[in-house]
Structure 1
């Protein structure tokens, strides 16, 4: 990431935390960053694109700080506690932005934003899984998702208190306390007779559904175009529709597809009901009326 982009991101984080996402204008961001509006748009296409960059920046910062402990020769329990500490410190460092993001309904929760948030949750669960395996060995494998889900619930509960009262707990003491409670829970899971509640099969089914929901738009649109081509074969060759589809394909391959062109070509399919489902899918991807 370029230094100028970091300056814009940090300035925007401060403003979003102070004023809210909706109430902060691009003009205020560029003034805070000490750049021109033209320079802003060379880095980010819109305020929404900036929000995506902020979430990616936040995710990478958190990941890099956690990974610092991976190569240290520490006992597994001590490493896990230190990773909980650094994760808590990072979250508290950006707590105003996180609170703003969670409460401000006007923030555009488009597919890209939801995808980033979902991936962040998965990475956190993977962190928990890796540490549980290092501490308890392969015997914990059937209960990894139960254990990480329970830990997430406990951790989020205490984190909310810290967000509103930074002096409520000392972070190191809190991390040790949470780990010790989880140690009791994990040992109970390992000694119980019943199987896991969140089996690998259940989680796999959930992740498969989520993966389809968060699928990349480019892959979606290519699949839709392929189905439309097949439909053209079945309804018989119609030259005007074939040309329209070729124009749509050329347009979506551009770095910045023009919605008006796509919408104009889609209108040529309006009298063919068999294409309605595909038209609606494309309109959803490109936010067309």
Structure 2
């Protein structure tokens, strides 16, 4: 990564964590980075593409920290425990940015960002499975996906608490505690049929991707039906103006969620349009 790109990314991270994604302008990022607004566009074509680069930057840093321990002389359990502690500690280092992401609905989630999030999730489960198999051996092969999901659920629940109040929880105690619970689960699951298999998970993944990475045809169909319903309403001219603005925004490469929310709010007085409001908000993952 070029040094100037890295400088812009690290500057943006600080600004996003402090002010939020929506309230931080490209002009501010450029100014704090010591460059002009025009020069910013030589490095990133938009704020959305900068967000994707930030996620990639974080992920590469996280991966480097986690796998740096491979060269050390650890037993499998000690290695996996150390890697999980490193994972949690790295998340804590950037907790302000992570909290901002989780609470700010206006962050654009375009197909590029979604695809990268899917990749991170897939890589994370591979990491969990490799770590568990190194500890428990081939006896857990049939239950790898079940155990991976269970471990992910345990970690995610504790991560939420850790990010909110890190002083109350120590990662060096949390991870061994979770791994001891995993020992009990492994012992108890061995005589049961697995709920999840590689084939079942692959089907889930493909269906999820088909929904979240192929919104174009679906959203166009919803907009067409919405227009038909609006045209059946008396004095619908203002509603059609809102729909035109909504449609124009949706057809952009990265629709702005506040604009979508604002236009959909203009339809809330009409019960016959409610299902379309809900469907569009569901596609773009925001509340109405």
Structure 1: give runs of 5+ residues left out of the alignment: 221-282
Whether the aligned pair in 2 keeps the contact of 1:142 and 1:200 (CA below 8 Å) is no
Whether the aligned pair in 2 keeps the contact of 1:76 and 1:135 (CA below 8 Å) is yes
Aligned match of 1:138: 138
2:207 to 201, 209, 215: 209
* Equivalent residues, number: 223
Relative to 1, partners in 2 of residues 1:285 and 1:205: Cα closer, same or farther, differing over 3 Å?
Answer: farther
Taking the TM superposition and a 5 Å limit, the aligned residue runs for 1:2-17 are 2-17=2-17
Q: Report how far residue 212 of structure 1 moved.
A: 4.2
Structure 2: give runs of 5+ residues left out of the alignment: 217-249, 256-288
Relative to 1, partners in 2 of residues 1:72 and 1:23: Cα closer, same or farther, differing over 3 Å?
Answer: same
Runs of 4+ in structure 1 deviating by more than 2 angstroms, as ranges, are 70-73, 207-217, 283-288
Q: Report how far residue 146 of structure 1 moved.
A: 0.7
Relative to 1, partners in 2 of residues 1:127 and 1:13: Cα closer, same or farther, differing over 3 Å?
Answer: same
Q: Report how far residue 285 of structure 1 moved.
A: 8.8
Of structures 1 and 2, the larger Rg is shown by 1
Aligned match of 1:102: 102
- Give the distance between the partners of 2:33 and 2:47, measured in 1 at CA: 14
Relative to 1, partners in 2 of residues 1:126 and 1:284: Cα closer, same or farther, differing over 3 Å?
Answer: farther
Aligned match of 1:246: none
1:110-146 Cα deviation digits (max 9, x unpaired): 1111111111111111110001111111111111111
Aligned match of 1:259: none
1:79-134 Cα deviation digits (max 9, x unpaired): 01101111001111111111111111111111111111111111111110001111
- Give the distance between the partners of 1:96 and 1:114, measured in 2 at CA: 21
Counterpart secondary structure, 2:193: coil
TM-score under structure 2 length normalisation: 0.72
